[in-house]
């Protein structure tokens, strides 16, 4: 007898599961329930249609119910909301625009309801000028306002992926945009020292930033609304985009007996099984293991949702597929920059009490002598045994492939040693003979094998002046353009001749522009018996980290 499989949610995880199920089981009866009008659309492309980067609205619709039926014989039911699941009798209650309320039985059930935008409770949160962006109707509504010519000012609340993409696309349409972010920096997956690079880019492109200040209220006036922040700032806007984060859309599972985590995410095992027999769950709505820390987490990204959908289908069809963990590899475009990361950041590692070391570098994305070379700002986090814990990069070129390479090594349990051994494609227009990924590996390898000793600017700036010397080994010209307070300047090329100027009883904390000359200086000092440390990332890191967004 053929198996009857119900799927709740018809976009990333749900559609992926449906197609895979059909490819594995030609006889199964597969029903996909979607409460909205569209299935399998490209949520990730929504901000770019608002900004007219993606001109054709239809190109965002990857599959239609008719096409899904034509190719896969999937019974797609749109405007059909699952309102309850009875895991004892194995039925789902459905509220359908066409058929009214009815029940459907299942042999297997796949839950992929995703996560909806979180709108906190504050005065005016239902303002007609406030919106969220999750699906095509949301997009159409925002695009209508943007294209109406009446939109001059927008406030984007939340500086995460969706907030920053919206800010850029609205700015590209000539709108005056202010981002309000409650955290000290935009882009929470990055550490603050990397986010500041994006903040500068946003400001250079005319986006106003209000950081460390959350939304308090929205007051509607005749021709605009006033967003008031916790600190009392008042921002007038004709459009307010609330991009504050998402919450799993699992309210309909409340009485189902399906176990949920503390924030409402569905708890699954490594084969996407819930605690209820024959019920599987995937995507933004599930709780997963963090690949680096092993902690329970939720990572609302398209890659994991698609993979988990496929795995749930495999397991339903008897294949032994597993979903091990999520490492949060992600990337974002911010005007001319790309920002990408994988694994844990410093904040997470500190919060989990995981000891780590870090290497910061600013390598050129391709050979510096080949036209158009730009620098990548890169940070690698690793433990005392060299296991890679995380990586973050920001730059104009080549960020995607470098983070993907590190993500791959991380996924395979690799070490900084492995990064040094990678043989990557090189010709001057594309990379350097020592690729930025190799360079990060070398820096970390030196740090671990004792041929270097890296510290960060926190260490350098909180030094005891009586017991240390802060040494800038750049040229006098570079020194003159800006240096750390209290630093002594001895260029690396004069260091051997001027060692007598340094007190051997003191620790020498030295830095250069990006860390490379600092390493040469470290080697000279160490081999002459000095206790030295090299500030990773050098002055460039200091200058970037100490960028203060304009008020
Ligand atoms: P969804 O794709 O959201 O699908 C869930 C579906 O279930 C929805 O259509 C919903 O209507 C339906 N549903 C919910 N409850 C019910 C119910 N009770 N009954 C019937 N149907 C129900 N990720 C990236 O990795 N990269 C990106 O660049 C990126 N950009 C994004 C940009 C935007 C604007 C948004 C909103 C998301 C973006 N994402 C991105 C996230 C990515 O889209 C999600 O992680 C992914 O879609 C999650 O898949 P899912 O199947 O869990 O949920």
Return the pLDDT at 97. Answer: 95
Do the Cβ atoms of 116 and 279 come closer than 8 Å? no
> Which atom of ligand 1 is nearest the CA belonging to 14?
51
281 CB near ligand 1 (under 6 Å)? no
Sign of the CA dihedral with 258 first, then 308, 140, and 63 last: negative
Active site residue 44: yes
CA of 128 to the centre of ligand 1 (A): 24
Q: Quick one: which H or E segment has residue 227?
A: strand 225-229
Return the pLDDT at 551. Answer: 54
In tens, the pLDDT along 47-80 reads 999 999 999 999 999 999 999 999 999 999 999 9
CA of 232 to the centre of ligand 1 (A): 34
Return the pLDDT at 545. Answer: 84
From 17, 36, 43, 161, the mutation candidate for ligand 1 (largest count of ligand atoms within 8 A of CB) is 43
Cβ atoms < 10 Å from Cβ of 43: 18
CA distance 519 to 527: 12
CA of 318 to the centre of ligand 1 (A): 27
Return the pLDDT at 549. Answer: 57
Return the pLDDT at 1. Answer: 79
Return the pLDDT at 335. Answer: 98
> Which atom of ligand 1 is nearest the CA belonging to 16?
51
Do the Cβ atoms of 254 and 163 come closer than 8 Å? no
pTM comes to: 0.95
CA of 58 to the centre of ligand 1 (A): 18
CA-to-CA separations, 432 to 316, 370, 437, in angstroms, rounded: 47, 10, 10
In the numeric block, which tokens belong to residue 208? 């106003």
CA distance 219 to 225: 5
Return the pLDDT at 546. Answer: 79
With a cut of 70, which residues of the chain have pLDDT below it? Answer: 547-551
Return the pLDDT at 550. Answer: 59
CA distance 239 to 154: 5
The residue whose CA is least distant from atom 12 of ligand 1 is 9
163 CB near ligand 1 (under 6 Å)? no
Residues in the chain: 551
113 CB near ligand 1 (under 6 Å)? yes
CA 466 from chain centre, in angstroms, equals: 42
CA of 348 to the centre of ligand 1 (A): 25
From 39, 114, 135, 245, the mutation candidate for ligand 1 (largest count of ligand atoms within 8 A of CB) is 114
């Amino acid at each position: 007898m053929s198996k009857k499989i119900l799927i709740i949610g018809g976009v990333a995880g749900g559609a992926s599961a449906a197609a895979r199920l059909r490819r594995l089981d030609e006889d199964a009866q597969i029903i996909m329930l979607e409460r909205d009008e569209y299935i399998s659309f490209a949520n990730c492309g929504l901000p770019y249609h608002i900004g007219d980067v993606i001109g054709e609205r239809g190109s965002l619709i990857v599959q239609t119910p008719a096409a899904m039926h034509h190719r896969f014989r999937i019974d797609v039911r749109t405007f059909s909301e699952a309102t309850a699941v009875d895991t004892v009798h194995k039925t789902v209650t459905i509220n359908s625009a066409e058929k009214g309320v009815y029940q459907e039985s299942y042999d297997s059930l796949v839950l992929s309801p995703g996560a909806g935008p979180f709108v906190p409770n504050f005065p005016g949160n239902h303002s007609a000028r406030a919106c969220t962006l999750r699906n095509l109707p949301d997009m159409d509504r925002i695009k209508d306002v943007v294209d109406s010519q009446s939109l001059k000012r927008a406030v984007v609340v939340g500086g995460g992926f969706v907030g920053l993409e919206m800010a850029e696309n609205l700015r590209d349409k000539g709108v005056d945009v202010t981002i309000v972010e409650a955290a000290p920096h935009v882009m929470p997956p990055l550490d603050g020292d990397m986010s500041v690079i994006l903040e500068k880019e946003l400001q250079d492109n005319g986006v106003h930033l209000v950081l460390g200040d959350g939304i308090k209220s929205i007051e509607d006036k005749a021709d605009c609304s006033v967003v008031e922040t916790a600190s009392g700032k008042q921002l007038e806007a004709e459009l307010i985009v609330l991009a504050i984060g998402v919450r799993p859309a699992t309210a309909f599972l409340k009485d189902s007996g399906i176990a949920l985590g503390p924030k409402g995410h569905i708890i699954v095992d490594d084969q996407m099984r819930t605690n209820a027999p024959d019920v599987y769950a995937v995507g933004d709505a599930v709780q997963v293991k963090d690949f680096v820390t092993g902690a329970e987490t939720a990572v609302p990204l398209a890659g994991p949702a698609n993979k988990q959908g496929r795995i749930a289908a495999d397991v339903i069809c008897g294949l032994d597929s597993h979903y091990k963990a999520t490492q949060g590899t992600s990337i974002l475009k911010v005007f001319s920059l790309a920002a990408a990361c994988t694994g844990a950041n410093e904040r997470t590692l500190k919060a989990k009490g995981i000891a780590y070391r870090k290497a910061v570098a600013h390598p050129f994305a391709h050979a510096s002598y080949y036209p158009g070379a730009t620098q990548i700002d890169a940070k690698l986090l690793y433990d005392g045994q060299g296991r890679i814990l995380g990586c973050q990069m920001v730059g104009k070129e080549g960020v995607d492939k470098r983070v993907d390479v590190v993500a791959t090594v991380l996924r395979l349990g690799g070490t900084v040693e492995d990064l040094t051994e990678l043989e990557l494609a090189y010709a001057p227009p594309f990379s350097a003979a020592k690729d930025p990924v190799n360079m990060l590996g070398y820096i970390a390898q030196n740090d671990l094998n004792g041929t270097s000793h890296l510290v960060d600017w926190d260490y350098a700036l909180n030094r005891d002046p009586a017991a240390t010397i802060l040494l800038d080994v750049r040229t006098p010209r570079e020194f003159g353009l800006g240096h750390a307070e209290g630093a002594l300047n001895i260029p690396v090329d004069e260091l051997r001749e001027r060692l007598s100027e340094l007190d051997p009883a003191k620790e020498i904390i030295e830095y250069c522009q990006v860390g490379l000359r600092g390493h040469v200086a470290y080697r000279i000092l160490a081999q002459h018996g000095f206790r030295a440390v090299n500030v990773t990332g050098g002055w460039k890191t200091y200058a970037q980290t100490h960028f203060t967004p304009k008020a």
